[in-house]
Amino acid sequence: MANLFTRIKDTVMADLHEALDTKEKKNPIALLNQYLRECERETEKVRKLLERQYTLKEEFTREYEQAKELEGKRKRQAEIAAQAGEEELYQFAAQEQMQYEERANRLKDLLTQATQQMGELERKYEEMKHKLKDMHIRRMELMGRENITRANHQMDKVLDNNSYSDKSFSRFKEIESYLDRLEHQVKSSYHRSTIDARIAQLEKELEKKPVL
């Protein structure tokens, strides 16, 4: 039964990897975006663990300082009880001092261990942030290359497609012909208006001359 489950798992994973490979070939940026989201989630998890480790270190530090303080207090009390000849009080204070000393030593080791673990977490967290930044830069690089590829593809379609080029050329010729006709009409209108104005001026001048 275990072997059957193993084969099923291997088959599913193989299909998944094949699907991811196909997706990467079709749209590498989409796959990279998926990796980025996963990396961001993992980075956030490490950040929260690091915050907890900071808090834990602070608690260890506080408990250690308290244990050392009580150890010192019981030590002084034991000395005073011994000088006063209070054997029972001395035994109690000495026993308490030993317990606090053992607790302080244990807390010191735990604090050292927590500090080392925090340093390791900090290193990994910084490494993950750098990796995440590199992936963002990689995505921008791929997007730029994709934009250039698409732009070149569109330009190649225009330049290499004869039917498309012929249509564009024909359209340009139509526009040029229209502009030529429009220019001709403007010039004709200008000339007509100039002739009309000139004739009207001549008529006025003739009217002013005396009839012989």
Would the pLDDT of 132 be above 80? yes
Residues in the chain: 212
Residue whose entry in the numeric block shows the structure tokens 């290499």: 160
Is residue 132 within 8 A of residue 33, CB to CB? The reply is no
> The whole model's pTM is what?
0.51
Is residue 189 packed enough to be buried (19+ CB in 10 Å), middle (13-18) or exposed (0-12)? Answer: exposed
69-116 residue pLDDT tens: 999 999 999 999 999 889 999 899 999 999 999 999 999 999 999 999
Handedness of CA 124, 126, 127, 131 (dihedral sign): positive
Is residue 114 within 8 A of residue 56, CB to CB? The reply is yes
Helix H, strand E, coil C: the string for 104-130 is HHHHHHHHHHHHHHHHHHHHHHHHHHH
Residue 39's pLDDT is: 83
Q: What is the DSSP letter of 209?
A: S
Is residue 78 within 8 A of residue 94, CB to CB? The reply is yes
Between residues 89 and 159, which one has the greater pLDDT? Answer: 89
Between residues 151 and 212, which one has the greater pLDDT? Answer: 151
Residue whose entry in the numeric block shows the structure tokens 């004739």: 199
CATH architecture for the domain at 3-162: Orthogonal Bundle (1.10)
Is residue 146 within 8 A of residue 29, CB to CB? The reply is yes
- For the chain, what are the domain ranges? 3-162, 168-211
Which tokens go with 93? 């204070």
Which tokens go with 38? 């996963």
> What confidence tier does 150 reach under pLDDT thresholds 50, 70, 90?
confident
CA angle 48, 52, 57 (to 5 degrees): 145
